Amino acid sequence: MAPTDRQLSQQRAIVTGASSGIGAQIARVFARAGATVGVNYRGAAAAADATLREVRDGGGQAMALPADVSKEEDARRMFDDFAGRFGGVDILVANAGLQKDAAAAEMTLEAWRTVIDINLTGQFLCAREAVRRFLAQAPPPQGRARGKIICMSSVHEVIPWAGHINYAASKGGVMLMMKSLAQEVADKKIRVNGIAPGAIRTPINEAVWSDPAAMAALLRLIPYGRIGEPDDVARAALWLASDDSDYVTGTTLFVDGGMTLYPAFRDNG
Ligand code: NAD
C-alpha cells in the first residue's frame, strides 16, 4: 500500500530523533499518509529544518519539538507542547538513539551511561508520557487502538555485538521494555511494538557504507544482498502505526534483509 493512501489521516504522531536518518524518513512517510507530525530533534533548531520543510512541502502539518529525550522534563514538555497545539497525540515513534563504541575494557562509564540514558531511558520517558496522554483521551470510534507506540530497536536486541556492549544492552532492554509495556496496556487498547532494523544507510553507520571494503564485509551478513534504506524501515513503521496492524501488539518486526537468519550457516554447520 502506498503512503499516499493516507492510512494515518486524523492521526497525530511524535517521532523522536526525526532530524536525521530513519526518524526523518518516518516523519515524511507519516505526513504523506495524512498524519500531523511532531519532529523531535536535539541541538540546533536548523537540524530539523529540512525534515519540517519536506513534511510541509508535501502538504502535511508539522511542529518542531526540541528536546533531549533522556531528560524527564524535556520529554514532558515535548508532549505538552505537541498535545497543547494539536489537542492530543495518537502515535509515538521512539526512535532517537546513538552509538558510543569501545571495547569493554576501554569503555568509559560516561559512554555506557550516555547510550543507556538515550536509547533505553529516553524510550521509557517518552513511552510513559505517551501512555499518560493516551489514557487521558477519549477512545476512538469502532474499537480501534486509542494509542500506538513503536520502539526503534535493532537486530542487536538479539545479536550480541562485541565492541558495542552498551548499544546491545540498550536494545535488549528496549525489547523487554516494549513487550512488558505491551502486556501492561493491551487491555487499555494501547498497542506497543518494536522495529529491529538491520544495517540501514544513515549517518549512524556512514563509516561502514562509505568504505567499499567494510561494505563488502557487511553484505556478507545480509542474505538479501543489499543495505537497507530508511524508507524500508519507514514503511514498516507506517504499517505498525496504522489500523492495518490493529491486532498486532508486543511484537518486534525485523527489517533486516535476513541478517538474523544466521547467514554464516549458509554453507556451514
Ligand atoms: P541517525 O544518527 O541518523 O539518527 C539518530 C537521531 O537521533 C538523530 O536525529 C539524533 O539527533 C537523534 N538523537 C540522538 N540523541 C538524542 C537525544 N538525546 N534526544 C533527541 N534526539 C536524539 O541514526 P539512525 O540510523 O537514523 O538511527 C535511528 C534509530 O534507529 C536509532 O535508535 C538506532 O539505534 C536505530 N537503528 C539504526 C540502524 C542503522 O543501521 N542505521 C540499525 C538498527 C537500529
Distance CA 8, CA 30 (A): 7
Average pLDDT score over residue span 96-106: 98
Predicted pLDDT at 59 = 85
Assigned C-alpha cell, 137: 483521551
Assigned C-alpha cell, 53: 520543510
**pLDDT grade for 49, boundaries at 50, 70 and 90:** very high
Predicted pLDDT at 3 = 47
Q: Has 224 been annotated as catalytic?
A: no
Atom of ligand 1 nearest to the CA of 23: 26
**pLDDT grade for 2, boundaries at 50, 70 and 90:** low
Q: Encode pLDDT of 133-154 as tens digits.
A: 999 998 877 768 999 999 999 9
Average pLDDT score over residue span 169-182: 98
Distances (CA, A) of 172 to 43, 126, 252: 27, 18, 11
Atom of ligand 1 nearest to the CA of 96: 7
Count of C-beta atoms within a 10 Å radius of residue 160: 9
Average pLDDT score over residue span 68-73: 98
Per-chain mean pLDDT for the chain: 95
Domains and CATH numbers, the chain: 12-265 (3.40.50.720)
Q: Is the pLDDT of residue 20 over 70?
A: yes
Q: Encode pLDDT of 180-198 as tens digits.
A: 999 999 999 999 999 999 9
* Cβ pair 39, 66 in contact under 8 A: no
Residue 65, φ and ψ in degrees, nearest 5: -130, 85
Distance CA 209, CA 212 (A): 7
Give, using CA atoms, the residue closest to atom 23 of ligand 1: 204
Predicted pLDDT at 268 = 79
Give the distance between the most distant pair of CA atoms in the chain: 57
* Cβ pair 5, 243 in contact under 8 A: no
Predicted pLDDT at 1 = 45
DSSP state of 140: P
Q: Is the pLDDT of residue 45 over 90?
A: no
Predicted pLDDT at 35 = 96
Ligand 1 site residues, Cβ closer than 6 angstroms: 16-17, 19-23, 40-42, 68-70, 95-98, 118, 122, 152, 154, 197, 199-200, 202-205
Average pLDDT score over residue span 80-97: 98
